[in-house]
Amino acid sequence: MADSATRYASLPRSRALLILICLILFIGWCLAVAPGRGLIPKPSDAKESDMAIYANVVQRMHAGEGYYEALGSELRSHKRPTSSVLNWRTPLHLSLLALFPNLIVARVLLGIAALAALAIGFILVACGGNGALAAIQTLLMFGIFVPCFAQPGIFFAELWAAALIMISIGAYGFGWRRTGVGVGLLAVFFRELALPYVLVSGLLAWKKSRRREVLVLTAGLGAYAVYLLVHVLMVTSRITPADLPNPAGWVQFGGVSFLLRTSSVGW
């Protein structure tokens, strides 16, 4: 296994303490400026939720309908803004679910991926000599991965990508670099939110002069760019003047309260 010490282990005690104090102050500031109202948004009608839309898309694909036809029809019937490519998810996730004979298989796979992610996180920290921290970390992570063990969880690509990222980190930690690269790239194809993780992985590989790893990551990101371009072309060819725009705009600056509501997941 690779050295489990973090970059903070090389810092002088005074600098590490300063970083800890700054982190505590930042958390305190976030809590002070957060609004008094609840941070977790009220759930919408289950029939109008993203989960319901994606479940219907998978059912329609099982019946033989194409991905973009099924997704476009469901988004429009639920009055979602479809005039922008940003509201059309890339096809890998739901297309994969539609390939399974039933959703139980998908639940089992996602559950196994979540358990693997939890186990890898625990082992990496515990082998670094801190069993108590490993247990606390695993408990906190379990709060994030709880939805992986329920059927609604399979319809959210973020959960698949999160489990894949954690498995990729574990593979790097165990020295299985090829697995780490491959699983990390797969996470991007599930959800583009994993892109920063892969970019950081590439930067670290470049700094360590691991040229082959950088080459593979670059090739993988190139393949993702082609995949995304095809997706954009498929969507734009189906957008009509009747499609609704997002009235609030796609780029908004909600401040700290928005960040806290966005991260209100888990325990």
Residues of the chain above pLDDT 90, percent: 56
pLDDT band at 266 (very low <50, low <70, confident <90, very high): low
Helix, strand or coil, per DSSP, at residue 8 = helix
- pLDDT digit string, tens, across residues 163-178: 999 999 999 988 999 9
- pLDDT digit string, tens, across residues 85-117: 988 999 999 999 999 988 899 999 999 999 999
- pLDDT digit string, tens, across residues 51-65: 889 999 999 999 999
- pLDDT digit string, tens, across residues 18-39: 999 999 998 888 777 665 544 4
Q: Model-level pTM?
A: 0.79
Residues of the chain above pLDDT 70, percent: 85
pLDDT band at 218 (very low <50, low <70, confident <90, very high): very high
- Whole-angstrom distance, CA of residue 7 vs CA of residue 131: 19
